[in-house]
């Protein structure tokens, strides 16, 4: 029996990221990047927000929020480039740019959430 292609792994990350993005990003985006800047809701002060973010469970939540959706983007965008721009022949470069980008973003998230 042949081993299934490793594409299965990237699709798995895409799906996990898709679920996280679907459930969490709308409310997070709405609160922090629309409602607070427009004054529709009272934005938390720097001190209260940073003490919230420093809680271990919140650090983990934020790490998941900032890493899995990036892998969701990487996989989806990679295939959109293949099909939308017909550049499948550049597959090696696209692979590195997309998943590489997701890895870099995840690393930055990890550093920030470790030291904040």
3-state secondary structure of 6: coil
Q: How many CB atoms lie within 10 A of CB 94?
A: 19
Residue 31 contacts other proteins per CB under 8 A: yes
Distances (CA, A) of 96 to 12, 20, 49, 73, 75: 18, 23, 35, 13, 11
Cα–Cα distance, 96 to 78 (Å, whole number): 10
Q: Which two tokens stand for residue 13?
A: 């990350």
Residue 40 contacts other proteins per CB under 8 A: no
Residue 83 contacts other proteins per CB under 8 A: yes
**Residue selected from 49, 60, 90, 93 as contacting other proteins according to rule CB under 8 A:** 49
Question: Whole-number minimum distance, CB 6 to other proteins, in Å?
Answer: 7
Binding site for other proteins (CB under 8 A): 1-9, 11-12, 17-19, 21-34, 36-38, 41-44, 46-47, 49-50, 52-53, 62, 65-66, 69-70, 72-73, 76-77, 79-80, 82-86, 88, 105, 108-109, 112-113, 115-116
């Amino acid at each position: 029996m042949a081993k299934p292609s490793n594409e299965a792994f990237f699709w798995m990350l895409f799906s996990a990221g898709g679920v996280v993005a679907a459930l969490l990003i709308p409310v997070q985006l709405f609160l922090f990047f629309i409602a607070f800047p427009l004054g529709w809701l009272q934005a938390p002060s720097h001190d209260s927000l940073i003490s919230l973010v420093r809680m271990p469970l919140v650090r983990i939540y934020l790490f998941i929020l900032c890493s899995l959706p990036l892998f969701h983007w990487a996989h989806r965008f990679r295939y959109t480039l293949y099909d939308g721009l017909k550049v499948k022949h550049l597959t090696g470069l696209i692979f590195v740019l997309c998943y590489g980008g997701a890895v870099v973003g995840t690393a930055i998230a990890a550093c920030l959430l470790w030291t904040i």
